[in-house]
Structures are given as C-alpha cells and as structure tokens.
Structure 1
Amino acid sequence: MTGHPEPSPLKDLAAVLGAVHELVAAVGREDWSAPTPCPQWSVHDLVNHMVLGNRLFAGILRDRAAVTPGALDPTAADALGDDPAGAYRSAAEDLLAAFRRPGVLERVFRVPVGPVPGLAAVHLRAVEDLVHGWDLARATGRRARFPDDVVERQMGFARAKLADVPPDRSPFAPPQPAADHAPPLDRLAALLGRSVAATR
C-alpha cells in the first residue's frame, strides 16, 4: 500500500478527452480530408464520430437519448460545424458532467454494445477515444499525449471486458500483433484491431 488513492476512471477519461482535444485543435485545414486507419473515414469523419459518440452517451446517461441504427455514423450527420475543436470540447465536457451526476456510475444503461453499468460506460468511452486518438494521430502525423498509466489501465479493462461483447456489437476489429516492447498506446490499438506494425 502506498497511501495514494487509486486514480478514478473519471479522471482517466478526463485525461483522455483532454489529450484528444489537443489533437483535434492541431488538425490543419489540409488534414480534414486525409484518410485514417479507419477504412473509408476521413479525419473529419473520425472526429465527427467521436463527437457523436460522446453526445450519444451523455444523452443516454441523462435518459434523453437511446441507441438507434446509424446513431454513430459520421456520414449521416455533421456535429462539427465551423468549429471542430470547440464541438469536441463541448461534447467532452458535457459527457463528463453527465457521468458526474449522482448515482450514474451505479445505474445500468443501454449503450451500443448492450446494457452496462455506468462505471463500465466510463471505460468504454475512454477506450474508444484512446483508440480513435491513435487513429487521429496517425492520420495527421502527430503524437498523442496520453499518459502511459492511463492507457495501461484502460487496456486492462479492454482485455477483461471487451472479449464478452458479442462480435456483431463490437466496435472494434479482431486483435492484431504488436511487439511486447511497443508503447502502451500501440499495444492497445493492436488489441483493438489496428495494424500497428504496418504503420510504423
């Protein structure tokens, strides 16, 4: 025992969302149409998908939204407008506020992968934005500034829980190989279907 409190999943999520916001804010005008590791998605599509996801979860946590077909399809609706970084920051802040409401972490919510406790939903959003943050960093040639300890904790959740998600509901592809000495973010990306070795 070290006497230090365990970092809360919400602190981890806040750190992830803050680092992704930095990446989004750094996207140049010429980068928005660039391809990403997500097949058929441009950088604009990818960031739009993340904003739609954070808005959907915030709505679900407040009992104001439900999962519908195509709800996370970035080609179906534009959530970015003229200020993508502002749209991402606003959605992230709203999501964190929704998670911080009393009792939310103990309740069960129906999210795209199925019914989960609020605490698991925190981890799902963190893992989602970590991996899509990796996608965005690769697409724009920038470095994602995620703390390694945060990535390691979310990787532990992904290994333990995402294997239980039915294949037709999984938001990720089958695991790909990664070197044991690869950075934590690369290992997480590979665990969730990214071809890490091919892009190094």
Structure 2
Amino acid sequence: MIDVVFPRNNEGAFVDMACKLGFDSLVFVYDSLDFRKISSKKVNVFYALLLPPEKIGVARSRRVLAFYKGGSRAREAIERSFDVVFSVEDDPRPDHLHFRNSGLNHVLCRIAHKNNVRLGFSFSEVLNSVNRHVLLGRIMQNIRFCRKFKVHMIVASFARSPFEMRSFFELRAFFETLGMTSKESASALDWL
C-alpha cells in the first residue's frame, strides 16, 4: 500500500508514521528541485515533483514522478502526460443546478485514459476543507467519471504533516462510502 505525502524536512517522521499505519511505500512530493533523497529499510521511498504543466521535462530528466495539483490548467497537465493529477475538484466556481463544477468532464477523462494519467483524490483536502459538503459531492461525481471512462484513480492522504496521515483501511473505507467499489479502492491504494 502506498501513501503520498508532502514533507518539509521531516521525512523520518513520515517514515515512522507510515510504518505504524501499515504502509509499505511512500511517495515524497516536493515543490522545489533541491530535495535530499533518503534511504529507509522500513518502507520503499519514491520521489515526485509538484510542477506546472510546462516543466514536465524536469521531472522526466530527474527520473521522478510528475504531480500536478488541479486548477485551471489541469487539461494541459493531462495532455502533457503527468503521472498524477490530483485535487481537480478544487474549483472556486459554484455548482450549477443540474451539474457540478468538479474540474473533470468526459473530454478530460478520455484524454487521461489515452495518456495513462492517474487522477488522485486527496483525503487531506477533505479533512481541511471549509465547504466539505461541496467537495464530497464533486469527488463522488469524479469517481463516477473515472469509472465510466476507465481512468486510473489513486487515493492517498496527501498529508503535509505526519499527523494528517490515515491508515489504508480508513482511506479505503472512506472512499468506498463515496462510491468506489472495493476493487477500485484496493487498486487506488496500490498503484505503483
């Protein structure tokens, strides 16, 4: 089982918490190019860069995963074949009466499926959200889109501190209540 975290010089604390919670792999996501690689015997450690769409070549040259946090340029990131695009449902526009502004539509799902881009769902965004009810509805809609168009999904805590991490049983149960099947949630937690 894999979790995705954003360390700030506290990689050891994340590794210890991952062992306690039962994860066997961690992905450390950094937003700058100067990060230190650590070796751990407890968990497998992978590295990723949080980049704007035009900088994907940097991640490819360093042989690390390329992550993009959703926003107005999510389509560009999906077209450029980022490894993971997450939090696309974090759209400031209000929902309409007949549909939600979830940041995802059938066109983006087809492109993501074609380019083998994984869409990530962040538990930390739900945990720290002000409009949690809106965010949960958007996540539910995006899960349905991903299922319909066979887009690979990932589920992780995306924690910024070790205390925001949750065990994979809790993550799996939470996203199954939002509409994932047990097979989808199992593959979303073991995606590398």
> Do they superpose with TM above 0.5?
no
Q: TM-score scaled to structure 1, two decimals?
A: 0.35
Q: Flag the structure with higher helix content.
A: 1
Q: Flag the structure with higher strand content.
A: 2
